[in-house]
Structure 1
């Protein structure tokens, strides 16, 4: 059952992340630090990596995890680069990009290492 739901949940999460990256996000709760935005970026891409790695992990191809990792990093870079083109209230930020990449890397390592979602 979980295996059948994982792909739709992962795709919906990915689409929601794209939408959230391209719209104005006013009223997001503060975490009380000066780098709340970076924390949100980290956890958004951490979740993205966990979902996609969990989906692809049963595939026993030699470079599957590496391809997914690189694809997610490129996805984060692309979104960061185009968000200010589509929304004048959003800007490119190297620190956001670093938070995205760190979230993907750590999410990938944890999902691949601990087998977070056991598929039946």
Structure 2
């Protein structure tokens, strides 16, 4: 009976890990495309520096989703690795996109403040996750 429960639990965790991976991977692809394609027909919003809020949101979700996958990957629920790895992955991904915008697009340019917004989103995600999991345990 115990063996059957362990097999079922293992299968459920594997499915959960796969779901988290595909969510994180899909979000990464969406961010990549939206940051590198030319978007001329996007309506403008009257909010100053709205693109910085968008960058913050993109990287908040990016870090959050990769954290969920990495938490399942690293198994040790008290490990700081998922926090560090998801944060650094988000930061380096954001920097790579800014470099790619400067080198490979004509409608986009690299912006240091976009990188700062990316880091802010990643840091907020780590803070929210850390508070949540600290209180949970």
Say whether the 8 Å CA contact 1:54–1:111 is kept in structure 2.
no
Aligned partner of 2:102 among 64, 84, 97: 84
Aligned partner of 1:46 among 60, 67, 81: 60
Q: Give the number of the structure with larger relative contact order, counting CA–CA contacts within 8 Å between residues 6 or more apart.
A: 1
- TM-score for both structures, normalised by structure 2: 0.74
Partner residue, 1:118: none
State how far apart, in whole Å, the 2-side matches of 1:57 and 1:64 are. Answer: 5
Aligned partner of 2:28 among 6, 11, 14: 14
- Structure showing the higher helix proportion among its residues: 2
Gaps of at least 5 residues in structure 1 are 116-120
Larger Cα Rg: Structure 1 or Structure 2? 2
CA positional deviation for 1:102: 0.4
Aligned partner of 1:100 among 105, 118, 128: 118
Say whether the 8 Å CA contact 1:76–1:100 is kept in structure 2.
yes
User: Structure 1 runs of 4+ off > 4 angstroms?
Assistant: none
Aligned partner of 1:73 among 68, 73, 91: 91
State how far apart, in whole Å, the 1-side matches of 2:107 and 2:123 are. Answer: 28
Gaps of at least 5 residues in structure 2 are 1-11
CA positional deviation for 1:31: 4.0
Q: Relative to 1, partners in 2 of residues 1:32 and 1:69: Cα closer, same or farther, differing over 3 Å?
A: same
